Structure 1
Amino acid sequence: MNETMKGIIDRFEGDYGIVTINGEAEGFPINLFPLESKPGDVVEIEGTIITVMEDETERLRLEMEDILDDVL
């Protein structure tokens, strides 16, 4: 059984997507990512299947906007 991990796409570099998982950067082959994925997206990784978690990505985006509004 494959372990399920959650992370945030940091960037795409060459043939790899770099995902931050529990504070650590990990590279995955770019062809495993959905075409619509982009840096900042929250993803779930199970074996070789990477899924963008749209609801969590939106929640994180709103949370970050609130933090920026408080700071500025």
Structure 2
Amino acid sequence: MGGIDMKGIVDRFEGEFVVIEINGVTKDFARSEVDSAVEPGDSVILIDGKWVTDDDETKSRVGVIKELMKDVWED
């Protein structure tokens, strides 16, 4: 029985590793532990030992970032 163990944000890819920020701390994970569709900036969740994109959380983060950028450029 797996379930959702952790959440994080993909910071970047480095060679055979994926750097994921979890609670403000970055950790390296083997690419084999990360779904091939995951991209830098994605919110991810660990389900049954595999990091996968949390589509709803990723879309929410992108929307917030776009609003912040709009506010910055309106001045």
Normalized against structure 1, the TM-score is what? 0.88
Quote the Cα distance in structure 2 between the aligned partners of 1:49 and 1:37. Answer: 11
Quote the Cα distance in structure 2 between the aligned partners of 1:47 and 1:18. Answer: 19
Quote the Cα distance in structure 2 between the aligned partners of 1:48 and 1:65. Answer: 32
Quote the residue 1:15 is aligned against.
16
Q: Which runs of 5+ in 1 are unaligned?
A: none
Structure with the greater alpha carbon radius of gyration: 2
Identity %: 32
Quote the residue 2:50 is aligned against.
49
Q: Give the letter aligned to residue 34 of structure 1.
A: D
Q: CA deviation at 1:47?
A: 5.8
Q: Which runs of 4+ in 1 moved over 2 A?
A: none
Normalized against structure 2, the TM-score is what? 0.85
Count of residues in correspondence between the two structures: 72
Deviations 1:5-57 (A, max 9, x none): 11100001011100011111001111111111100000012462212101110
Quote the residue 1:35 is aligned against.
36
